[in-house]
């Protein structure tokens, strides 16, 4: 049986208590690995190693050498592409068709982009007159924040973990990562990459384990100087409270209930293609995905019927079948949660246009964590599945008449992560995009990511922006030095 271990101070180790928990293949519910359950000794050892590395070989490394190492990590990840691909798809159930184009290439890109960023960090300087008629020069400099705690989720495990580890290391910090307990493997695999490229010991550490045990221990640890988290809003709130103890900085990327706005003057082919992606990709387990679709009344029926066609055409199946579009959801618990939302939608009076339950799968797949691609119409804006994040391959479609009305509907949510707007009228696109309360607005597209741009959410969707130079706000301390001449 495969064993997934901690990676602490450059060594792969089991837990001191010898405890392991089970990891399952979401497509079959078969046991695929035993994962070490980290407790206090492992969290303490990882944080101590990370702290020591700040003043050791890693902390003393010249910026250019650090940048070179970041590229080397990315190159080694590219060389191990197939290992990462297989591990990620087996843990999550996502098909090769997604992970090959999104998850795995982004893992390496997340190191390259921050290596590039660090080459062009500029410091501010201000000359001032002093009361005694002389002058003083102020200049700012950035220094690493210290030991960064990284708590990452299961939906895009490698992508979202490296989106934090890349900038943290590029800025000279050290990290202690706790990946989701349901998708532990690629975070440990990255430890092999770190060993291979010669990253100094203690700079990258991994403690495996459940959120309620290992996650809690990590967030409470007072030698964690700052913590970055992606996941559910409620967990984000818990982590924020824990980090208030010791006044430690946080970066939170949380849930969404993202709207798509489809105007009657849209390019319908484009609107259907991108909306189908944003609703169903990764079995709807993307925080940027669309769960509320608003369509202008004259094209409502045509849009509903064409999105239904697109959903019906999706091939659901196992990750290593190259023709598969959609896999299972990640766990039995998550399948149950999504199916409960599907039941609530029916009870609250939804018209089920597509799906609405669990598909019947055959043979080895019959016990897997499958849910159907699902479309509803006819619910009021107060309905549960219009208000709450489902995180499954589903959406509700509602008609609207005017621009003012749809902007109000789109913004009537506790979240504010992402949105999409489909129109061929450029003035309207600018106007509407500027009025939507979300961190990202995609016009005639979805999940088009330039990694230099600010990424993050408004309202309950998070705190902070990461990407390119914006990541320096969280991963460095900015210091002013004032020299009297
Ligand atoms: N990117 C996103 O927006 C994501 C949203 N979700 C949503 O969250 C729901 C719950 O799924 P979970 O896996 O429980 O997500 P979660 O947000 O609780 O888990 C994400 C990470 O936080 C850790 N964690 C959990 N509780 C913690 C605590 N008290 N202290 C420190 N770390 C903790 C987990 O072990 C995992 O590594 C899902 O059904 C889904 O709707 C889940 C994953 C990602
Ligand atoms: O492109 C990114 O950096 C992030 C994408 C998706 C998420 O953050 C998520 O699904 O949680």
Q: Give the residue, by CA position, lying nearest to ligand 2 atom 4.
A: 160
pLDDT value at residue 386: 98
Atom index in ligand 2 nearest the CA of residue 285 equals: 10
Tell me how far apart the alpha carbons of residues 180 and 91 are, in angstroms, rounded to a whole number. 11
The residues with which 137 forms a beta bridge, in sequence order, are: 127, 483
Q: Rounded to an integer, what distance in angstroms lies between the CA atom of residue 338 and that of residue 106?
A: 27
pTM for the whole thing? 0.97
The confidence score (pLDDT) of residue 210 equals 98
Quick one: 12 exposed, middle or buried, by C-beta within 10 A (0-12, 13-18, 19+)? middle
d(CA 426, ligand 2 centre) in Å: 27
Residues that are catalytic = 253
Task: Name the 3-class secondary structure at 280.
Answer: helix
**What separation in Å is there between the alpha carbon of 254 and the centre of ligand 1?**
9
Which ligand is nearest the CA of 113, by number? 2
Q: State whether the beta carbon of 156 lies less than 6 angstroms from ligand 2.
A: yes
At 392 the pLDDT is: 98
Give the pairing of strands 135-144 and 476-484: antiparallel
Ligand 2 atom closest to the CA of 106, numbered from 1: 1
Q: Which CATH number fits domain 258-443: 3.30.1330.60, 3.40.309.10, 1.20.810.10, 3.40.50.720?
A: 3.40.309.10
Which residues have CB under 8 Å from 179's CB, separation 6+? 152, 157, 161, 186, 187, 206, 208
Q: Check residue 272 and give its pLDDT.
A: 98
Q: Which ligand approaches the C-alpha of residue 102 most closely?
A: 2
Q: Is 466 in the pocket of ligand 2 (CB under 6 A)?
A: no
Domains 2-254+459-484 and 258-443 equal at CATH topology level: no
Residue with the smallest CA separation from ligand 1 atom 26 is 211
pLDDT of amino acid 109? 98
3-state DSSP assignment of residue 20: strand
- 236: CA distance to ligand 1 center in Å? 8
- Nearest atom in ligand 2 to the alpha carbon of residue 286 is 10
Candidate from 235, 250, 288 with most ligand 1 atoms within 8 A of CB, to mutate: 235
CB atoms near residue 97 (< 10 Å): 19
Regarding an ipTM greater than 0.90, the answer is yes
- CA-closest residue to ligand 2 atom 2: 160
Using CA atoms, how far apart are residues 121 and 416, in angstroms rounded to an integer? Answer: 30
Residue 325 CA to residue 7 CA, distance in Å, equals 33
For the chain, give every domain's residue range: 2-254+459-484, 258-443
Ligand 2 site-directed mutation target among 113, 150, 159, most atoms within 8 Å of CB:
159
Give the right CATH number for 2-254+459-484 from 3.40.605.10, 3.40.50.720, 3.30.379.10, 3.40.50.970: 3.40.605.10
Within 6 A (CB) of ligand 1 lie: 151-155, 178, 180-181, 210-212, 215-216, 219, 230-232, 235, 238-239, 254-255, 287, 334, 337, 389, 391
Q: Quickly list DSSP for 116-148.
A: HHHTTPPPPEEEEE-TTS-EEEEEEEEEE--EE
Phi–psi pair at 175, nearest 5 degrees: -130, 150
Distance of CA 232 from the midpoint of ligand 1 (Å):
5
Query: Does the C-beta of 161 come closer than 6 Å to ligand 2?
Result: no
Q: How many Å lie between the centroid of ligand 1 and the Cα of residue 386? A: 21
What is the pLDDT, as a whole number, of residue 348? Answer: 98
Closest residue CA from atom 32 of ligand 1: 215
pLDDT at residue 153 in the model: 98
Tokens of 189: 């695999």
Consecutive sets of 10 residues in the chain, 485 residues long: mean pLDDT of each? Answer: 96 97 98 98 98 98 98 98 98 97 98 97 95 98 97 98 98 98 98 98 98 98 98 96 97 97 98 98 98 98 98 96 96 98 98 97 97 98 98 98 98 98 98 98 98 97 97 97 97
Which residue out of 207, 211, 329 has the highest number of ligand 1 atoms within 8 Å of its CB and is therefore the one to mutate?
211
Output the residue whose Cα is nearest ligand 1's atom 4.
231
Q: From the CB of 471, is ligand 2 less than 6 Å away?
A: no
Beta strands 125-129 and 462-463 are: unpaired
With a 6 Å cutoff on the Cβ, whether 105 touches ligand 2 is no
Whole-angstrom Cα distance, residue 200 to residue 472?
Answer: 22
Angstrom distance (rounded) from CA 26 to CA 107: 22
The predicted pLDDT at position 321 comes to 92
């Amino acid at each position: 049986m495969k064993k997934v271990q901690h990676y602490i101070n450059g060594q792969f180790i089991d837990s001191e208590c010898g405890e392991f928990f089970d990891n399952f293949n979401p497509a079959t519910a078969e046991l695929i690995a035993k994962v070490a359950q980290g407790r206090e000794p492992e969290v303490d050892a990882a944080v101590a190693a990370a702290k020591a590395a700040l003043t050791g070989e890693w902390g003393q490394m010249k910026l250019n050498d650090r940048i070179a190492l970041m590229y080397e990590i990315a190159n080694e990840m590219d060389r191990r592409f197939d290992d990462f691909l297989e591990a990620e798809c087996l843990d999550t159930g996502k098909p090769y068709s997604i992970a090959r184009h999104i998850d795995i290439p982004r893992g390496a890109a997340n190191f390259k982009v921050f290596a590039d960023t660090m080459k062009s960090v500029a410091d501010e300087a201000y000359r001032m007159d002093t009361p005694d008629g002389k002058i003083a020069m102020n200049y700012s400099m950035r220094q690493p924040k210290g030991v960064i705690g990284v708590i990452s989720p299961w939906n895009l495990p490698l992508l979202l973990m490296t989106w934090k580890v890349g900038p943290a290391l590029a800025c000279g910090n050290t990290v202690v990562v706790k990946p989701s307990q349901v998708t532990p493997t690629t975070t440990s695999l990255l430890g092999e990459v770190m060993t291979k490229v010669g990253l100094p010991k203690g700079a990258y550490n991994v403690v495996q384990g459940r959120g309620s045990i290992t996650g809690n221990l990590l967030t409470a640890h007072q030698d964690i100087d700052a913590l970055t988290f992606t996941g559910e809003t409620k967990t984000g709130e818990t982590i924020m409270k824990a980090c208030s103890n010791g006044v430690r900085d946080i970066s939170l990327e949380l849930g969404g209930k993202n709207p798509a706005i489809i105007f009657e003057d849209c390019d319908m082919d484009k609107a259907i293609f991108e909306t189908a992606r944003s609703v169903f990709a990764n079995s709807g387990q993307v925080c940027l995905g669309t769960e509320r679709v608003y369509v202008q009344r004259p094209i409502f029926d045509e849009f509903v019927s064409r999105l239904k066609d697109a959903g019906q055409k999706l091939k659901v199946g196992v990750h290593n079948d190259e023709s598969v579009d959609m896999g299972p959801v990640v766990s039995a618990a998550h399948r149950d949660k999504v199916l409960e939302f599907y039941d609530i939608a029916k009870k609250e009076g939804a018209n089920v246009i597509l799906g609405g339950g669990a598909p019947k799968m055959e043979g080895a797949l019959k016990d897997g964590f499958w849910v159907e691609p699902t479309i509803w119409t006819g619910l009021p804006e107060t309905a549960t599945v219009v208000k709450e994040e489902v995180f499954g391959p589903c959406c509700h479609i509602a008609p609207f008449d005017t621009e003012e009305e749809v902007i109000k509907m789109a913004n009537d949510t506790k979240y504010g992560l992402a949105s999409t707007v489909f129109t061929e009228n450029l003035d309207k696109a600018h106007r509407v995009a500027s009025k939507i309360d979300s961190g990202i607005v995609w016009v005639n597209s979805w999940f088009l990511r330039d990694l230099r741009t600010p990424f993050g959410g408004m309202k309950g969707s998070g705190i902070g922006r990461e990407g390119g130079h914006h990541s320096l706000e969280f991963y460095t301390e900015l210091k002013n030095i004032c020299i009297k001449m």
